[in-house]
Chain A
Amino acid sequence: MELLDQILPLVQKPARYTGGEWNAVRKDWSEIDLKVAFAFPDVYEVGMSHLGLQILYSIVNNRNDALMERVFAPWPDMEDKMREHKIPLFTLESYRPVRDFDVIAFTLQYELSFTNILNMLELAGLPLRASQRGDEYPLVIAGGPCSFNPETLASFIDLFVIGEGEEAIGDFLDDFRNARIRKLSKKDFLREVVRVPGIYVPSLYRVEYLDDGAIRKVEPIGDGIPKRVNKRVVRNLDKAPFPTRPLVPSTEIVHDRIMIEVLRGCTRGCRFCQAGVIYRPVREKRPETVRRQAAELVRRTGYDEISLTSLSTSDYSPIRSVSKALIDDHADRGVGVSLPSLRVDNFSVQLAKEVQKVRRSSLTFAPEAGTQRLRDVINKGVTEEDLMAAVGVAFQEGWQAIKLYFMIGLPTETVEDLDGIVHLAREVLARGRKAGVPRGRLRVTVSVSSFVPKAHTPFQWEPQAPMEDLKEKQAYLTGKLRDRGIVVNYHDAGMSFIEAVFARGDRRLCRVLERACALGCKFDGWSEHFRLDRWLEAFRQSELDPVWYACRRYDYESVLPWAHISAGVSMRFLAKEHRRALVGETTDDCRAGSCTGCGLCSALEVEPVFAGGEFDTHLPNAVQ
């Protein structure tokens, strides 16, 4: 700490590195057997906003035989100071070097954080490649959404946990402890731990390639290694551990509020959406559970806002009664309720109006595509009428700014679909004017991202549009949408390109990651740090072609790099959905009662869970 006191006054936001937050857990190092460092490969404010961290932190620290401490990627100013003073990567609880832990557990939230993982390993003084780390080094494990295509990190991570971590982390720690008692080597432990469902050890699989560079096959090396690793699923959210004493940061973070997950999963079936597949089935929490957790969280955190989180909170069956109950319970103490991720419909706007005490300046909707044809292709069942009804109500209720999310580069997109985006933006603007929103205040923000094909989705076979095309489309939209009151912003096409490479790539890309890291790539998800030229240089040095990875179409017959990882949804269903997409046929939500045949429930022996209540969610026109 003394050395830190010399350095911290020289860096931005020093509270990122000090720990000592409310509800932080500091255990006696000498008394505890299993020491785990949870590593988030992004800056503190981002990592601390992640509910998964809070969940795992509480589960592990509730065990008597284990402790979990946290480490985040130091911002480059701090990294420079650490390197200058030879301070190895340390955790916030004990300021101990990460290298002293038994396990380093990375969470993989987005592909553009991968270089930070390598950089953190390097700062910790660990060899990057798993094969170079002997028994004297900690075990490096990883989980989170990007582990559904773990291949691009296969050389660096000892084992991946596929799917939900609440139960898997305990199973893993039990096995790890047991192996330690028996003095197993790391290698022997890894061979044994694959018995635990959801655990994938990449070094135990061999990949063979065809002459054209595609994958011939991926197969286990030796007996007893599963051919396919199924994701872990928690059956019942009410019984799943949920932290009611979460860490409360002393410095402002991105999501600085109580987060209660009210449902997991989403069955709307947008065909580009990976979360919609990997978090299936839908499991809703019972209203009593939500209310009890909220009461405890308010008391234990002191936050003034309860956010009901999920992939689509207006889909939570009892949303209206639960949010009302929470307001009644806590309003007198100045605690409000907020609802992120609303659907594009009237119901959602009414709900937002009832619930949000502090009126945020803008409401966000995600029609995703500009024409009905393309919205049918992606199975985003929202119509222009839904959108106009929703924004109409929003303007009448006093909102003055609307944000619209669109994607470009979607399969089958034409210039008409781009014109559709222009049309929708102008229509929304016209609604605002008609509703009498003052000209100076009225604002329609059109946020344009580029389609990135993701593993385990119906669009996993689709190529990404060439970067030049994406840039042209961005220019087309900004050129057309010059109306006063409309603001267009778009994601860097280069970033989406690299994201696509790593989202659909194979383990040969590990070389590229190493090169990129050596060339100084880090914080690639931050536009101020992203450097496409360095990435292209890394590909050149590794003699791999990023375009081949991002913009090549996979066949149904192709062995996909993630073919040995299963999210429970059958390939057959994904292919069927893909074919339906191309002819513009939509598929209903299984909530509506008819099974769409995705195969998940039978494959994983699970079922959707609905909290019941007053069916506020009318399905036919209620689509986000």
Chain B
Amino acid sequence: MIPIYRMQYSKEGTARYISHLDLLRAFERAGRRAGLPLAFTRGFNPHPIISFAAPLGVGIAGEVEYVDLELTADITAGEVLKALSSTLPEGIQLLEVRMISEHSPGLMAGVERATYRAVAKLKCQLDQKKIDESIATFLDRTEVWVERKNKAGGKMKFNIRPGIFDMSGRSESGKIIINVELKAGSRGNIRIEEVIEAFQTVNPLPLAERFILNRTGLFTMDGQIKKTLW
């Protein structure tokens, strides 16, 4: 059996600026530094078999992200965790490692929902009622159109409203904190930046700065119930 390890990690601090492609390299290099027997693809230009659940935009932190890593030798999950924990670059922290069976569905295919938190300083105090009203007005719309680029580089209109499942907000020590649950994965992905921008266009909050964005979770759906990607 080929040992595949599913790992949960966070990507914060300076690591939030590591791009998706660079993150792949970071895991490969960390694996080599840890002395792990990485498995490689066959072919002319072999590369390690590493796959992520869902790419994270540059600048967005991830609190509970997932990656699958294939090795050529059977090592306990605990040993992998220990070895890799001390070789990942600053800001990337391994939370948990589990060995999964070869027949588990791929990580990427499982992703259906993502939750985010957006935080920004406010120019002035906002009461809860005002926040709730703003969000309610936004969610009351049946359509929220944004502009996206298609593959040919042209612009097209896209309705993101069906992909917004939940949104709530509160203010705390001069900051607004918005939590959102969005459609995610290869069958349609809504970007948090699009939602925030549309929200600010419809119903601008008095912000003193840009929103700092965190992805707080990635989920698959079992009927109507969100489940982690384990």
Contact = CB atoms under 8 A, between A and B. Distances in A.
Same complex: yes
Interface of A: 5-6, 8-9, 14-15, 18-22, 24, 248, 250-252, 298-304, 333-335, 358-359
Given A298-B32, A299-B35, A8 B40 contact: no
B17 A18 contact: yes
Contact of A252 (B25, B35, B58): B25
A14 B17 contact: yes
Contacts of A5: 212
B146 interface: no
21 contacts: A5-B212, A9-B59, A9-B210, A14-B58, A15-B14, A15-B17, A15-B19, A15-B22, A18-B14, A20-B13, A20-B89, A24-B90, A250-B26, A251-B19, A252-B21, A302-B30, A302-B33, A303-B32, A334-B40, A334-B48, A335-B32
A81 to B, nearest CB: 12
A334 B41 CA distance: 11
Contacts of A15: 14, 17-19, 22, 58
A20 B210 contact: no
Contacts of A333: 32, 38
B12 to A, nearest CB: 11
A197 to B, nearest CB: 39
Contacts of A298: 32
Interface centre among B38, B40, B58 (most CB of A within 10 A): B58
Contacts of B35: 299
Interface in B68-101: 87, 89-91
A190 to B, nearest CB: 38
Nearest to B40: A334
Contacts of A24: 90
Interface residues of B, number: 32
A302 B13 contact: no
Nearest to A22: B89
Contacts of B44: 358-359
A283 to B, nearest CB: 30
B46 interface: yes
A251 B25 CA distance: 9
A403 B13 CA distance: 43
A20 B29 contact: no
B194 to A, nearest CB: 14
Given A8-B59, A251-B19, A252-B22, A302 B29 contact: yes
A250 B59 contact: no
A248 B32 contact: no
A14 B59 contact: yes
B31 interface: yes
Contacts of B63: none
B14 A20 contact: yes
Given A248-B89, A299-B33, A303-B29, 9 more contacts: A9-B59, A15-B18, A20-B90, A22-B33, A250-B15, A302-B30, A334-B46, A335-B32, A358-B44
B22 A250 contact: yes
